[in-house]
Structure 1
Amino acid sequence: MKKEDCFYLGKIVKKYSFKGEVLVKLDTDQPELYENLDAIFLELRNNLVPFFIESSQLHKSELLRIKFEDVDTEADADSIMKIGLYLPLDLLPKLEGNKFYFHEVIGFIIEDKNFGEVGKITGINDSTAQALFEIDRNGIEILIPMNDEFIVEVDRDQKTIIVDTPEGLIDLYLED
């Protein structure tokens, strides 16, 4: 399984018991969807390796307590600490309306209600307090906050996102 065919689900953050159980911090708004998995991929030495799950349950809402097969001691658990967990993209629940996954909108065209076509989404910057659309407009990078109030419509068929940004925001990037 290749990493580009998967989505990041979370990271192993700490040991839970002396029997090899671990706690995973999930990167999702719907942790309950991932409570009864049979297997998951762990990123070991830049490869995704399948691990089978003996049992799992939600722990304090945003953590998932997992007991993997063949991880039976604290030392076994230590060997997988801080490791990222991945699942195949086809296991992602489908989103409707104006909700979307970041990877899903790469390549979409952004159109502003007032400005017109802005450009193509080349990436999402989520390292800031508010995630930003990274848009290429003929070699010029334009950043638009991914604010629910700005997003008017996500059209999956046309691969377009229509936004209504504050007047002058896009022009800031185009002025010399």
Structure 2
Amino acid sequence: MNLDDYYQLGSIVKPHGLRGLMVAFLDVDDLDAYRKVKSVLLALPTAPDKLVPYAVERIQPQTEDRVLLKLKGIDTIEAAEPLRNAILYRALAELPELDEDQFYFHDVIGFTVVDEQLGELGVVEAFYEMTQQDLMAMRYKGVEVLIPVVDELVSHADEDEKKLYVTLPDGLLDVYLTPASRERDEPDEFEKP
């Protein structure tokens, strides 16, 4: 199985009780959309590049990002313990449908970033999921620029044109183009005497 065909749903935190239940963290916006999931794939800490399929018996939300997870065939604490810290995956094709103006991060990698005032700026290279907010990385004039992924700045994506439309605040690009930031991204050049 190729990991590029799957998305990371979350991870198993620890066993819960004696009958094979596990506490799992799910990195999703809406836990209810995942209550009826029938299967997951696990990448075990001992074999992170190998995905093992498991049928899901039950997902029971506990907090906004934690669930009790019961996998078929995992019926004891001894069977659950080796799954501690396993990463949960699902097929990209099984992602829930989004509203028209929404997009998944992986869908817009490689899209051209277009600002309403400045026009085309660069290409989306990556996303960084941070505790406070997510950041989109693009290369602009040879420098990596990070743009907060918030509705006020990122308006929509056009799949047909492969463009992501933004409204950047005045001065955001200038922060990255100061001499100090350019020196970090540019290789050292040596002057001849």
The TM-score with structure 1 as length reference comes to 0.90
Q: Distance in 2 between matches of 1:53 and 1:120?
A: 39
Indicate if the aligned counterparts of 1:114 and 1:164 stay in contact, CA closer than 8 A.
Answer: yes
Instruction: Report which of the two structures shows the higher radius of gyration computed on alpha carbons.
Output: 2
SS in 2 for 1:56: strand
Q: How many residues align?
A: 176
Name structure 1 gaps, 5 residues minimum. none
Q: Distance in 2 between matches of 1:37 and 1:85?
A: 12
Indicate if the aligned counterparts of 1:36 and 1:57 stay in contact, CA closer than 8 A.
Answer: no
1:93 aligns with 2:96: yes
SS in 2 for 1:170: helix
1:69: Cα distance to partner? 1.9
2:135 partner letter:
L
2:126 partner letter:
G
Moved over 4 A (4+): none
Q: Distance in 2 between matches of 1:60 and 1:174?
A: 42
Structure with the higher helix share, 1 or 2: 2
- Partner of 2:51 in structure 1? 48
Deviates more, 1:84-93 or 1:142-151: 142-151
1:4 partner letter:
D
1:105 partner letter:
V
- Residue from 130, 137, 147 that aligns with 1:127: 130
1:96: Cα distance to partner? 2.5
- Partner of 1:19 in structure 2? 19
1:129 partner letter:
Q
1:78 partner letter:
E
Q: Distance in 2 between matches of 1:129 and 1:62?
A: 15
The TM-score with structure 2 as length reference comes to 0.83
RMSD (Å) for aligned C-alpha atoms? 1.8
Alignment of 1:6-155 (within 5 A): 6-44=6-44, 45-46=47-48, 47-127=50-130, 129-155=132-158
Question: In the superposition, relative to structure 1, how do residues 126 and 56 fare at CA in structure 2: closer, same or farther (>3 Å)?
Answer: closer
Q: Distance in 1 between matches of 2:143 and 2:38?
A: 45
Name structure 2 gaps, 5 residues minimum. 180-193
- Partner of 2:160 in structure 1? 157
Share of identical aligned residues, percent?
A: 35
Deviates more, 1:80-89 or 1:92-101: 92-101
